[in-house]
Structures are given as structure tokens and as C-alpha cells.
Amino acid sequence: MTINTISPAEAMEKMEAGAMLVDIRGRDEHARVRVPRARNVPLEQLSSDHLEGDTVLFHCKSGMRTKNSAAQLQACAGERDCYIVEGGLGAWEKAGLPVVKDKSAPMEMQRQVMIAAGLLVLVGTLLSLLVAPWFIYLAVFVGAGLTFAGVTGFCGMAMLLAKLPWNRTAHA
């Protein structure tokens, strides 16, 4: 059995007929904007135990995560009919289908890490040019940290950012 794609409008019809919609994005992404009645099960935690019913629909933000993980999603779905929502949440919103937005939810952790890393590299570089050359080590330290995070999957900056007050509810 292969996993097929489905338009957001067709997905809505299947949901109304009882299909289960699974949002494979991270919990912080889901908290900020989500499809009503979608169950959030981050991809790295997904198993067949999380799925119910005969038909399962999967979505992410743009459709890329679901397409890249199609084999894993199909394996979790087992004998169920399963579909990937073409274009993900972006296409869902563009089609004018309902979403729940919570602007008070924190920005996605990956975006917070990119902003913090970019600012630290920029500040370190500028300070090394304008104040003292040894400030360049701030940029080097951030670059090394990002490389380490990419190789190991552990991001110390994300761990620190998760402890900030605005992130405590989403990452508790």
C-alpha cells in the first residue's frame, strides 16, 4: 500500500467523514497555529499506537516533512488508508479552511535559535572590527555550536532558550 497525496479540501471532507488528521510538526509549531481537531504527534514520537480509525491524514507546515517521511508515515499507518495533505498547513490556510491561531504562543524554537545565533555572530563580528579583535571568538563559538548541533542533534542554545519565561509553557 502506498501513501497518496490529497488536497486540503479533500482532507477536510475525509475528516468530516471520520478520518483522523495528524499534525507531525513540533509541539511549539502546533501551539502557534493548528487545524481544529488535528492531533499533534511530532514525527519523532509517532507510532501506530497514536493512530485511530480506518483513514489517517498527515500534515506538516509545507508538505516537505511529510513527503520526506512518507515511508515512516506509511509504516505507522499499517493497513489503514493514509494520505499526505498536499502543501501542508500553508495550503490548508490558503484554501480558506479553518485554523486556530494563538499569537501568544512562543515562536518556533528553531526560529528562535536561528535569530539568536545570527545576532551573536553579527555582534561578535562587529565588535571584533570596532572594539577588540578577540570578539571574533564569539562568532567562532556560535559556529562551532551550530556544527555540533547539526552533527549530534543536541542544541545547547535551544536548551537555554527553552528555559526563558516565554517558552516555559510550550516546552514544559
Domain boundaries of the chain, sorted by first residue: 4-101, 109-167
pLDDT tens, position by position, 70-117: 999 999 998 899 999 999 999 999 999 999 998 887 888 889 999 999
Residue 2: pLDDT above 80?
Answer: no
Specify the pairing of strand 55-59 against strand 4-6: unpaired
Given a contact cutoff of 8 angstroms between Cβ atoms, the answer to whether 124 and 142 are in contact is: yes
pLDDT tens, position by position, 5-55: 999 999 999 999 999 999 999 888 898 899 999 999 998 899 888 899 899
> Which uninterrupted H or E stretch holds 45?
none
Q: 58 pairs with which residues across the strands?
A: 22, 84
CA geometry: angle 65, 67, 71, nearest 5 deg: 105
Please report, as a single letter, which amino acid is at residue 56: V
| Annotated catalytic residue, options 60, 76, 82, 155 | 60
pLDDT at 134: 96
Residue 172: pLDDT above 70?
Answer: no
pLDDT at 169: 62
pLDDT tens, position by position, 117-157: 999 999 999 999 999 999 999 999 999 999 999 999 899 99
What is the radius of gyration, based on Cα positions, of the chain?
Answer: 20
From the number of C-beta atoms within 10 Å of its C-beta (0-12, 13-18, 19+), residue 73 rates as buried
- Of 23, 69, 70, 67, residue with least CA distance to 42: 23
**What's the CATH architecture for 4-101?**
3-Layer(aba) Sandwich (3.40)
Active site residue 60: yes
- Of 27, 25, 44, 37, residue with least CA distance to 89: 25
Report yes or no on whether pTM surpasses 0.75: no
User: What confidence category does residue 1 fall into, taking pLDDT thresholds of 50, 70 and 90?
Assistant: low
Number of Cβ within 10 Å of residue 84's Cβ equals 24
pLDDT at 88: 95
pLDDT at 3: 85
Q: What are phi and psi of 155, to 5 degrees?
A: -115, 105
